[in-house]
A and B are shown apart, each in its own frame.
Chain A
Amino acid sequence: GAVVSQHPSRVICKSGTSVKIECRSLDFQATTMFWYRQFPKKSLMLMATSNEGSKATYEQGVEKDKFLINHASLTLSTLTVTSAHPEDSSFYICSARTGFSYNSPLHFGNGTRLTVT
C-alpha cells in the first residue's frame, strides 16, 4: 500500500535553533500534504495544508514565519520549525493524498517527536 515516510522520528534540539522535518510519499504522487501537531493526550490539530508548487495555507493561530512549509515536489514536503522554543516541543505528523478531496485516501507518516531543550 501507499507509504508516507517521515524523518526524523525523534529530534532533540536546543532553544533558538531550527529543525527540519521531511515527509515523503514513497510510491505515489502527493498532490496535497497536511501537517498536524499533536499534544499529549490531545487530538491532532491541523497546522497547514500544502499543495505541490504553491504556498501553504496555514490554519488560524499558526505562525507561518515560525513553521515554514515547503512542498517543492509531488513526493516531498518539509516543515521547518525556526528558532525553536520549549513550547514547540510536540509530536508532528504529516499526511498526504493524491487528489483534492477525501475520496482520495489519506496516508499518514509515523510522526516526529520534537523536544526543544
Chain B
Amino acid sequence: AQSVTQPDIHITVSEGASLELRCNYSYGATPYLFWYVQSPGQGLQLLLKYFSGDTLVQGIKGFEAEFKRSQSSFNLRKPSVHWSDAAEYFCAVAFGNEKLTFGTGTRLTIIP
C-alpha cells in the first residue's frame, strides 16, 4: 500500500531563517504530490502540487518543493519564514484516481 512519511514531527525555526520540511513516499510509480497547510482548528489549504514536468514546483506564500524521483522525496522549502507560517504542514500523495493519503504532519513553530 502507498504510504507517506514525514520524519519530523515538530520543527522550530527562527523568523527569517530558511525552512525545509521532509516528505518521502513509497510506491513504484510517480504519484501526484501535494503539500497542505493547516492552521489550528481550521481546514487545509493547498500550498503546491506536482503532477509532472518541472520537478521544482512553486507554490503560494513563497513556498517551493522539489520532487526527487531517486529519493522518493518531495521536500518543502521556504528561504525565509515569517511568524505567520507557524502551522501544521501535511504532505499527501495520490496515485491516479485513488484516495489521497496524508502524512502524519509536521508542526512548525517560529521563534522571534
Contacts and interface: CB of A to CB of B under 8 A. Distances in A.
Contacts of B51: 102-103
A111 B32 CA distance: 24
* Residue with the greatest number of chain B CB neighbours at <10 A, chosen from A6, A46, A113: A46
Given A43-B105, A103-B51, A109 B43 contact: yes
Interface residues of A, number: 25
Interface residues of B, number: 21
Most chain A Cβ neighbours within 10 Å, of B43, B99, B105? B43
Contacts of A46: 99-101
A102 B104 contact: no
Contact of A106 (B46, B90, B103, B104): B46
B43 A4 contact: yes
B97 A93 contact: no
A interface secondary structure, majority: loop
B112 interface: no
Nearest to B49: A102
Interface in B17-61: 32, 36, 41-46, 49, 51
Contacts of B104: 42-43
Contact of B100 (A100, A105, A106): A106
Given A43-B90, A44-B90, A111 B100 contact: no
Interface of A: 4, 6, 9, 34, 41-44, 46, 49, 59, 91, 93, 95, 100-103, 105-106, 108-111, 113
Interface of B: 32, 36, 41-46, 49, 51, 90, 94, 96-97, 99-105
8 contacts: A4-B43, A9-B41, A44-B90, A93-B44, A102-B97, A106-B100, A111-B43, A113-B41
